[in-house]
Structure 1
């Protein structure tokens, strides 16, 4: 494995020297995930907090109490329900944006909006505004999905399918390095400078992303001209609901949607069970933030090893099939082990393995497929899958977890293993339809 890592690092350096767009894409994804992972432990700590006054506005707590439903018993279910409703509102707005404005306008608008709102959260956390935890949970969940979905759609404008198979593992590794750095920054600074100043750190990283978008645009234009593709510098047109219509009409998109939904399902069930354990064992917000940052570090370390040593080799030699199937099989094994021995440490271990396999193999493989389809598919349908359907799955399986948890952790993990089987079957459907796509022109 050491030799494989060394070879992977050498290949990465060679690829970066030979491909300027890869270099800028590498920096772009590094900064995007650095900015996100600086804040992710804050979100996790807020969601697992036992201090309801920090998380929710007093009026909301009082309303639930008056109706005989202590909000602390439904924290994650309430948060996921609200996030799904927010996604239902934002998806048509995003569809309108990408339909009416060219790439050079809507990409900076998306990231500029997120930078502005980070400055608003800086003021809220500095002032100790009640309910700031809930607002921040909503924001960062929306940010993660839309910002990353836009990134990968843009990458499919810049790179061909052959380039994607060669480069997406490396680009994913850049994000992993950023995701590795983010928790280090958080665990090092949060107890010294406070949570509010982390918002400014994240805003700085997103500003660099804007510069990378500007530098990458010429390569996207060049590829579209060379391969006679639709011009991304012109508005796409169409309806704001085209993404959902495409998913309903196209078999490949339907299978991709099902695979993502079931993948989100196993992740949500594991996440909620871990949050329940953390809430019982850890009461201090700073200590809880540090705990989640350590899990993120472990996930990102394993992801980086796989991306540098395995992802490019698998995608280049065997295509997307192994990378799509391995995560599902790994999750089935992990949940089966947890069903037999549901110990807290084992939950953290399976969490690390589950997320690492998705980030290092599953996600790059899915995004490679989008290089071979129309821009409407990736900017509209792909975004709809990664936002509305993703959060709909989050909401659904948050309640599934709530029901199964009444019967104990073992029931949760048995249910998770069944969902992982469905995820693997959906991956087989994706592979069957993917073979019908045209190759690069």
Structure 2
């Protein structure tokens, strides 16, 4: 009987109700349809999801339209396009060729800008209700983009450094504010279900942004891309207004008496909260080492682009291609894995798997630092951050008080982030003199620090309640 089918005998007809084995493509199509149907059900059950999805889509579209321009300016061999003439002359007088330290100077300036902006942001959060400071942040960035339109249209010297620093500030503050706001809108249980979809909305926007840049930059020029981004940020403002009522309703359900009122407290409270709280300290270390591996990779990538492409438009197209690959991988993971892993296993695999992947990637690069492999590891590193690690971190903030949510989170996402940038971009300089193998060999240890920090976060967050405690609610209402 065992030989009947295999030896050419008559095959028994398939049992009634059993279909023949499905092809892999059929499984993929069924899975995609199932995820789409789940998304539709969540839209019906959670009305705020639609506006959050569109909000993040527009925000990352607007950012990724500009990111290739920033990267192209950072990789430019023309120091006059990047730095103001007085700074070039001052460096030359000191015997320093400023073009040899482009990234180091840009990252140092960005860190200083973050330190200066942090008290300003803290003052906005402390003194004004959300309905005022959230639109104010985006209106400020839109006004800046209109100014950059004029700067790039006139090809002003030094525009590269100014734009690089501004875009870094914009990205960190705008995205940090977005996720803080989402933690106001959604509960922890809802966040586990919908953050993957919201992240996918952002990733679709991140796919559209580089595609727009790649399509338009050769024909309309860099200056007009500023107007495209400004329009997308204007749509973000519409979404903020639509989501306000959902945030207020959730706060009332939590018993926050002063829902929608200013958070109050010190404008520098973010640092104190991070210093005192073990979980926030662990999140800071996770951010620091995560930025470290990214900065080491980015510095090598910029060196490759500077050597390969002389034209700014060609460099912008190159970086937009890398971003496109990252975002394709990101959205596949977000749609098919993120929500399922988080709902079933919690945040642990989402935080720990990227650390393991990065350690493996850096080990391969230390053994064989080929340019193509550098690009591949960059794609995996950033895709795992966007699709796994970041959604996991953001769900933690749904379980803390409002002051930690807005002030401590902003401190971690801006000052700690840029401190990591600053530290590792300067570390890269002496390591690069020893060769790529030395850069990636040290990177293995940085990746190990990232993994251990992720483990500490997983352990520390277990002490949090599923929702903020009454004491935390009272503190957020104070």
Does the alignment reach a TM-score above 0.5? yes
Counterpart of 2:71 (choices 31, 35, 44) is 44
Query: 2 CA distance for matches of 1:228 and 1:368?
Result: 20
User: Secondary structure of 1:238's match?
Assistant: coil
Q: 1:209 aligns with which of 236, 259, 272?
A: 236
1:117 aligns with 2:127: no
Q: Give the equivalent residue in structure 1 for 2:322.
A: 295
CA contact (8 A) 2:252 2:259 kept: no
Q: Equivalents in 2 of 1:374, 1:416: separation in Å?
A: 35
TM-fit CA distance, 1:403? 1.6
1:159: how far off? 0.1
Counterpart in 2 of 1:282?
Answer: 309
TM-score (normalised: structure 1): 0.99
Partner of 1:8: 35
Aligned to 1:267: 294
- State which of 341, 352, 358 in structure 1 corresponds to 2:379: 352
Structure 1 stretches of at least 4 aligned residues deviating more than 6 Å after TM superposition = none
How far is 1:66 from its partner? 1.2
- Distance across 2 between alignment mates of 1:397 and 1:64: 22
Deviation at 1:438, TM superposition (A): 1.1
Which residue is 1:68 aligned to?
95
* In structure 1, C-alpha distance between the alignment counterparts of 2:328 and 2:107, rounded to whole Å: 28
User: Structure 2 matches for 1:321-400, cutoff 5 A?
Assistant: 321-400=348-427
1:96 CA displacement: 0.8
Paired with 1:438 and 1:119, the residues of 2 have a C-alpha distance of 44
The equivalent residue for 1:161 is: 188
Instruction: Return the offset for 1:230.
Output: 6.0
Per the TM alignment, residue 17 of structure 1 is displaced from its structure 2 partner at its CA by: 3.1
Cα 1:365/1:388, change in 2 over 3 Å: same
- Asked whether the equivalents of residues 180 and 406 of structure 2 are also in contact (C-alpha less than 8 Å), the reply is yes
**1:67-86 to 2 correspondence within 5 Å?**
67-86=94-113
Using the size of structure 2 for normalisation, the TM-score is: 0.91
Q: Which has the larger radius of gyration?
A: 2
**Map 1:139-150 → 2, pairs under 5 A:** 139-150=166-177
Match of 1:92 among 119, 131, 150: 119
Cα distance, 1:232 vs structure 2: 4.2
Question: How far 1:218 moved relative to its partner?
Answer: 0.4
Q: 1:29: which partner in 2?
A: 56
Tell me which residue corresponds to 1:255. Answer: 282
Partner of 1:226 in structure 2?
A: 253
CA contact (8 A) 1:103 1:232 kept: no
Unaligned stretches of 5+ residues in structure 1: none
Alpha-carbon separation, structure 1, partners of 2:349 and 2:327: 21
Measure the CA separation in 1 of the matches of 2:292 and 2:200.
25
Matched, 1:135 2:162: yes
Structure 1 residue 62: Cα displacement: 1.2
Is 2:134 aligned against 1:107?
A: yes
* Shift in Å, 1:128: 1.0
Aligned length: 441
Q: Deviations over 1:375-404 (max 9, x none)?
A: 100100000000011001100000111121
Q: Give the superposed CA RMSD.
A: 1.0
CA distance in 1, matches of 2:123, 2:449: 33
The gaps in structure 2 that reach 5 residues or longer are 1-26, 469-478
1:284 and 1:230, CA in 2 relative to 1: closer, same or farther beyond 3 A?
farther
CA, structure 1 residues 188+230, in 2 after alignment: closer, same or farther (shift >3 Å)? farther
